[in-house]
Structures are given as C-alpha cells and as structure tokens.
C-alpha cells in the first residue's frame, strides 16, 4: 500500500498564481473600461482624453500579468500557455495604442474586441482548477 501525502493534496495556489489571477482580473477590467469609453466616443461623447489615459492601466496590468505568468511557468513549473497568451495580449495592447494614436478606427475597433476576447479567455483559464493543480 502506497502512502498519500495529504499535505501536498491540500496545498493552496502559490503566490505567482494568485497574483496572476488578480492581474488578469485588473487587466480585463481596464480593457472593459476602454471599451466603455470607446462606446461613449462612438455615441458622440467627448471621452477621447479618458480613453487615451485608460491605455496606461491596460499596459501596466498587461505587463504585470505577463511577468506573473512567466514566473508561474518557468520557476513555478506551471503551464506555459498563460505566459504565451499574456505576451500576445501585451503586444496587442502596444499595437492597439499605436493604431489608436494614428486614428485608424477601422483596425482599432476590431483589434480592441479581439483583445477583450483573449483577455477574458485568459482570465477564465487562469481561474480554472487545472491551472491551480499545475501551479502548486
């Protein structure tokens, strides 16, 4: 009969996973705020300044999410997909800012929608129990 290490089975998620989860929440909220201000701009409100300022938190939380995903993956021996998805999101945010600064709405809006969709997918994924088991 094999002994079972119950201490290992009841471990909580590590600091990298917990921080990644909350960074993903903040990232999605920042992107959602950008979507709201963009919708207000389309509706005729003067929200261009707020929309421009809102890019800062998107980039900040995207970078935090990327760093924590890499820490979960490499030293934490967790899954690598959150790091790859976070890198893609971070790069998409940079492209999004550049395109928005040029005023190219025909590319800016669909890329913003894709960014939001991927960010939500990462958020759901990092809160799944599979990631928790892998990120111990």
**How do residues 2-15 score in pLDDT, each as one tens digit?**
655 554 555 567 99
CA distance 70 to 52: 28
Quote the pLDDT of residue 136: 56
DSSP at 5: -
The residue length of the chain stands at 136
Report if residue 8 sits inside a domain: no
Instruction: Look at the chain and report how many structural domains it folds into.
Output: 1
Domain residue limits at 87: 14-134
Instruction: Tell me the pLDDT tens digit for each residue of 77-98.
Output: 899 999 999 999 999 999 999 9
Assess if residue 110 is contained within a domain.
Answer: yes
Q: How is 92-124 classified by DSSP, letter by letter?
A: HHHHHHHHHHHT-HHHHHHHHHHHHHHHHHHHH
Q: Is residue 30 part of a domain?
A: yes
Residue 123 belongs to a domain: yes
Please indicate, yes or no, if residue 100 is contained in any of the structural domains.
yes
Give every CB contact of residue 125 below 8 A, 6+ residues apart in sequence.
81, 82, 85, 131
Residue 2 forms part of a structural domain:
no
3 within a domain of the structure (yes/no):
no
Is pTM beyond 0.95 here?
no
């Amino acid at each position: 009969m094999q002994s079972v290490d119950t201490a290992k089975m009841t471990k909580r998620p590590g600091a990298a996973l917990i921080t990644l989860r909350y960074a993903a929440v903040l990232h999605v909220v920042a992107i959602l705020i950008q979507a709201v201000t963009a919708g207000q701009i389309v509706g005729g409100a003067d929200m261009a300044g707020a929309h421009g300022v809102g890019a800062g938190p998107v980039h900040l939380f995207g970078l935090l999410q990327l760093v924590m995903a890499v820490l979960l993956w490499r030293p934490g021996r967790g899954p690598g997909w959150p790091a790859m998805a976070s890198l893609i999101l971070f790069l998409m945010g940079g492209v999004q800012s550049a395109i928005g600064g040029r005023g190219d709405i025909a590319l800016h809006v669909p890329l913003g929608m894709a960014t939001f969709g991927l960010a939500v997918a990462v958020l759901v994924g990092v809160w799944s129990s599979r990631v928790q088991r892998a990120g111990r």
